[in-house]
Amino acid sequence: MKSADKTLTRAWVRAQSRPARRAASPAVFAGLASTALGVAQAGLIATALAAVLTAVGVPDRLLAALALVLVLRALFGLAQERAAARAGIVARRRLRGSFLRAVVAAGPPLLRRQHSAAVAGTIVDRVDLLDGYFSRWIPAATLATAGPLIVLAGVWWLSPRAVWVFVCCGLAVPVGQAVFGIGAARAARGQFLAMMRLQSRFLDRLRGIATVVLANAEEREAVALGQAADDLRRRTMTILRVAFLSSAAIDVAMVAAIVGVVLLYRHDLAAALSGHPGGGHAAGTVASALAALLLAPEFFAPLRAMALAYQDRAQAASTAEAARDLESAVELGSESPDFGSGVTLVVENVTYAWAADRGPALRDVSFTAGPGDILVLDGPSGAGKSTLVEVLLGFVQPQSGRVLLNGCDLADIAPAALSGAMGWVGQKPVLFAGSLRDNLLFARPDASAEALDHAVRAAAIDRFLPLLPEGLETRVGEGGFGLSGGQAQRIALARAILKDAPLLLLDEPTSHLDPETEAVVVDALRHVARGRTVVLCSHSAALRALGTRRLDLARGVLMEAAA
Amino acid sequence: MSRMSSPRPALSASAALREIAGVWTPYRGRLLSGMAISLLALACGYLLMGSAGARLAGLVTGVAVSTLLLRVGGLGRIILRYAERLYAHDAMFRALAALRVWFYRRLAAGAAAGLGFRRAGDLLARLVGDVETLDGLYLRLALPVAGLCVSLPLLVWLGWRVAPMMGLGLGGLFLCGAVVFPLLAAWMARGSAAEVSAAESSLRVAALDLATSLREARVFGAEARLVTAVQRREEALYAAQTRQGRRLAVAGFCAGLCGQAALLLVLAALGGVLLPGNLVLGVALLFVVIAAFESIQGLTRAGLLAAQIGHAARRVVEIAHEGPATESGLVIAPMTGEIVFRDVSFSWRDEPRHAARPPVFTHLDLSVRAGERVALIGPSGAGKSSLAALLLKVAAPTEGTISFGGVPLSELDTASLRARIGWLSQATHLFDDTIRANLLLTRPDAGDESLWRALDAAEIGDFVRALPEGLDSWVGEGGARLSGGQGRRIALARTLLAETPVLVLDEPANGLDAETERAFLATLNRISRGRTVLLIAHRLVGVEQFDRILRIADGRIESVPL
């Protein structure tokens, strides 16, 4: 990790933990109260035991007080758990909200950089993984310093001679953790990468499982998945080896404290007992010794809780990186030009390259189109037609030149205003889980029944509707599974028709349709296109016949605009 | 599309767990060793606390207690705890990796027709999430429960030696705290665990919807709606988690009270009449009681976990159990031969409702001789792709028989049949990997020379050569870094690489521009000479050379004059 990245990571973690600490304060308070009651509990048990050992007898009041302390302590424990869960939810809700905003702001170009499974993983798993950070680590980190201090005060009060044993053993813990903590953060990052790779790989392989199976490659893919899982194991073990070392350091310190207390009080007890057998002084020394012994686990419990939550902390740093990956440099526009009377599209000297080393996909492209124009983009596969459509959609910003809609630069138009102006049918329409009706209404949720009916007929969906078990209510799976490519394409067309926007971008809208269905769709598009600005990429003769102008693209250069 | 499968009775969680235990058989030694180390570490912890208490009490009462046990307990606890954690985790992760691979294999054997109506996001949640939930089965369930086998007898034995009633009382309280309340928690959590994991799953689906349809969302201005859908499901998840957390906290509180009661019981008994010898034992017992009840603090959570694990196990095993749509036979497919469909009827079934859809076709007859080139033309939805699915044994006909080289498909070894048939369709998937890795899918042993030959045959070789990273260029998710035509050509090159005697081409030229489409079909004429070709398309361009052209419409096939 570069040091600039590290600074950014630290800044992000700090920014996250400030409000989270506020949310966690009830949990911290309950935890402190519970620790204080633990000190009281140790004192009472030690006093009772000392009374038994020195044959003084245990007063009933002592037992009653102990019972009260025990119940109170359990209640505070209950309160602490609930408060911690609440803190986790508050923090996760806030974080997920900010991730969702970042994803929406980054928009379509994000999918060029990241697999959609990775994006979804950031929104869902990344945030939920941080539940431990918010609900366990943050309270535990505060309690790990305050808790032992409270216990130490108790030791000082109950058995002052043991204080230095506790201080020495206690100080050994942060030293050990500082040593091991550095390795853990680095390992956590490695583990997250391995996990995301495993997830992306699974989703990708599952999506293509038909291809894998029909190629008789399932065995090889299974082995490859096994290797990925093994990689995950090795990385996870690297983290755990370190995390376990830091909790082993606590074990060592606690055992040392217990043995130290026994050795320390061995001489005291011998002296006290030989001096005044059965006397009050002896009872006091015995009580001190026992209290110190009972307080040793109490002293290390907050540190142990922190060590257990350490993995949760390590997750925060890698989430900071995932959060940075979502950020986009693109500034969203804010202007809202009037598109009520149609859209005039002006493309001025647009040049665009997907990657610097591949050369520009579009080179100095210029043209103009107004309402009533149906512009047919022509050119061989890979000539830059789809790239041009992406630029017109505003998904990508040209490196030079600009696109104007009614005189306003596309980059300056607010996304909401832009989406109001545009209809689009892409090559790979995405259908999501839900009914066919939901998928259609996606384009315009408030569409009337008539409008929906019209769109269904215009896109020739009514031709396959009777074949579906529940008509428009039929559920379609991811990728429109259950529908053929042509059927999915008609859904996308119906969406565009339903949306009724003044600028239409059609990228191979009929490529999966048979001639008969295509004729219906072309007829509908003829009506839809009337008075609108249309840019069309298609190899279909019937559709191209609708065109009023033709533009030829070859290797990113606009050749000729012929009639 | 979905697969044929008959409804099965619901699988019980314990049957699912038994099945998973079967998958883990090779790791049994490691898992058991981890458990043994864990029990030893626990015993050392008791030794440390008990002997520390006994040592102090011995000093006071004048009974000699050795410090040797104290040292052994202390050292043993430190070392064994670390060894246990490391060893048990490693064993578990190995077992989990095995489970993942087992799951994928079973799925591949059953779900060849694709993901069907199951969501990919949901499947992913099952695969990754459920399998990870299962790691708790060993570490957080089996190990602590095994610990009870050390703690309970120790408490009862020590208590019995102080006073028989004490042994029984402590045993009862320990059983309440370690078994009764956690079981109660598990029982209460059974419903909420299902609720939480369903909520998680639906949140993941919503997030995946948002992520995959970012383009559509931008164009249709639907971002706010998709975000709201995610947030609604997020709130449902929090509500479910809160309900679950509240129940657990209460069960944990009750279990904690058992520990407090045990402590008071020992103290009260010590306050009564006890012999000096028993006094030392009594103090040791007190310390052991504190340590024992501390060790079971997490068990109510394990109760919840047991419910979650039961669910995860059931879902994982259930989906793995979905058998293949067709059984593999034993006969190795002949190198080539006539393809015959006789009186075949077919309809897809909808899962999970298992309702049959209207038949795609009924009583269909079709035969393609070896080496013959046949085009099958028809409107979309007419069942052209279903024919390919039947031929590849992805689905089984509802009626009638299909044979290859005179052998019914049901008797043919499925893998050998698929090795004879090259398949390219609009659903062919490009993996988010390099061009090389994508090509090697059909023939992992192919050298670069064969790869380039296949790429050139698909007329994409020059494009790949021009890429700075050549064969090692990344194609992106579903071929997103390529144009539609380029992606299809890479997929075609992959099919050609397999050099199969039969080619089933389901709309292979779709998405190519007219000029390239013609050139490509001409290439196809050249490279497919001597092979059996079944081209499925909604229309012909005109340059194809076929022996026969058939039209499929309304579930029937008729010949079209050339």
**What is this model's ipTM?**
0.81
User: Helix axis angle, B181-212 relative to B299-321, nearest 10°?
Assistant: 50
B392 and B306 in a common domain: no
Across the interface, of B56, B253, B441, the residue whose CB is closest to A78 is B253
3-state secondary structure of A327: coil
pLDDT at residue B33, as a whole number: 94
- Model pTM score: 0.74
pLDDT at residue A479, as a whole number: 43
Across the interface, of A204, A209, A513, the residue whose CB is closest to B380 is A513
CA distance A542 to A513: 12
The reply to whether residue A442 touches residue B52, judged by beta carbons under 8 angstroms, is no
Which contiguous run of DSSP H or E holds residue A50? helix A3-53
The one-digit pLDDT tens for each residue of chain B (562 residues) are 333 333 445 678 888 888 888 988 999 999 999 999 999 999 999 998 888 888 888 887 777 777 788 888 889 988 998 998 889 888 888 887 888 788 888 877 765 444 443 444 556 556 666 777 777 788 888 888 899 999 999 999 999 988 888 899 999 999 999 999 988 888 887 777 778 878 888 898 889 889 888 888 888 888 888 999 999 999 999 999 999 888 888 888 999 899 999 999 988 888 775 555 578 888 889 989 988 998 888 788 788 788 878 888 887 787 777 766 677 788 888 888 889 999 888 876 544 444 455 677 788 888 899 888 888 887 766 667 778 888 888 778 888 999 998 899 889 998 888 889 988 876 678 888 889 989 998 888 989 999 999 898 888 888 899 888 888 988 877 677 777 678 878 888 998 888 889 988 887 776 565 666 776 677 777 777 778 888 888 777 666 678 888 888 776 787 777 6
CA distance A134 to A16: 9
Listed residues B262, B287, B321: the one ending a domain: B321
Residue B327 lies in a domain: no
Higher pLDDT, A259 or B477: A259
Peptide bond into A360 cis (omega under 30): no
User: Residue B541 has which token pair?
Assistant: 């361009």
The reply to whether residue A358 touches residue B423, judged by beta carbons under 8 angstroms, is no
Across the interface, of B74, B104, B216, the residue whose CB is closest to A259 is B74
Task: Supply the DSSP string of A259-302, one letter for each residue.
Answer: HHHHHHHHHHHHHHHHHSTT-HHHHHHHHHHHHHHHHHHHHHHH
Q: Tell me the torsion sign for CA atoms A75, A77, A83, A89.
A: negative
Residues 6+ apart with CB under 8 A from A350: A362, A364, A365, A366, A388, A391, A398, A400, A401, A402, A403
B378 and B307 in a common domain: no
Residue B201 lies in a domain: yes
Task: Supply the DSSP string of A472-521, one letter for each residue.
Answer: GG-EE-GGGTTS-HHHHHHHHHHHHHHH--SEEEEESTTTT--HHHHHHH
Residue B328 lies in a domain: no
Stretch A328-341: mean pLDDT, rounded?
79
Chain B residues in contact with A386 by the CB 8 A cut-off are 483-484
Domain count, chain B: 2
CATH class of A345-562: alpha beta
CA distance B552 to B379: 8
Residue B5 lies in a domain: no
Q: Which fold has domain A3-326?
A: ABC transporter transmembrane region fold (1.20.1560)
**pLDDT grade, residue A85 (50/70/90)?**
very high
For the CA atoms of A495, A497, A499, A501, the dihedral, rounded to the nearest 10 degrees, stands at 140
Residues 6+ apart with CB under 8 A from A309: A132, A133, A136, A137, A140, A141
Nearest CA in chain B to A443: B220
Q: Report which of B393, B315, B386 is spatially closest to residue B109, judged by C-alpha positions.
A: B393
B344 and B236 in a common domain: no
The percent helix, strand, coil of chain A (3-state, each to 5) is: 70, 10, 20
Query: 3-class secondary structure for A464-479?
Result: CHHHCCCHHHCEECHH
Stretch A111-140: mean pLDDT, rounded?
84
pLDDT at residue B169, as a whole number: 93
Chain B residues in contact with A107 by the CB 8 A cut-off are 214, 218
pLDDT at residue B7, as a whole number: 40
- Whole-angstrom CA distances from B524 to A554, B520, B549 are 25, 6, 16
Domain extent at residue B447: 339-560
pLDDT at residue B280, as a whole number: 84
Across the interface, of A75, A233, A255, the residue whose CB is closest to B97 is A233
In the chain, the amino acid numbered B548 is R
Q: Which of B130, B353, B477 should one mutate to test binding to chain A, selecting the residue with the greatest count of A CBs within 10 A?
A: B477
Specify the CATH number for the domain of residue B379.
3.40.50.300
Residue B472 lies in a domain: yes
> Residues B504-536: pLDDT tens digits?
888 777 656 566 677 667 777 777 777 888 888
CA distance A394 to chain B (A): 9
Neighbours of A52 (CB within 10 A): 25
Residues 6+ apart with CB under 8 A from B537: B375, B376, B377, B507, B509
Residue B179 lies in a domain: yes
Nearest CA in chain B to A430: B213
B416 and B497 in a common domain: yes
Q: Which of A206, A250, A290, A520 should one mutate to test binding to chain B, selecting the residue with the greatest count of B CBs within 10 A?
A: A206
Listed residues B266, B290, B321: the one ending a domain: B321
B178 and B57 in a common domain: yes
B370 and B278 in a common domain: no
Residue B502: CA atoms inside 13 Å, Cβ hemisphere, count?
A: 26
Please answer whether residues A173 and A62 qualify as being in contact, where contact means their C-beta atoms are separated by less than 8 angstroms: no
> Residues B142-175: pLDDT tens digits?
888 899 999 999 999 999 988 888 899 999 999 9
Residues 6+ apart with CB under 8 A from A14: none
Residues 6+ apart with CB under 8 A from B56: A262, A265, A269, A286, A289, A290, A293, B283
Segments making up each domain of chain A, as ranges: 3-326, 345-562
Nearest CA in chain B to A498: B220
pLDDT at residue A517, as a whole number: 81
Chain A residues in contact with B59 by the CB 8 A cut-off are 265-266, 269-270, 273
**pLDDT grade, residue A563 (50/70/90)?**
very low
Stretch A475-489: mean pLDDT, rounded?
65
Specify the CATH number for the domain of residue B265.
1.20.1560.10
CA distance B341 to B279: 90
B59 and B199 in a common domain: yes
Residue B332 lies in a domain: no
A27: pLDDT strictly greater than 70: yes
Residues 359-378 in B contacting A (C-alpha not used; CB under 8 Å): 378
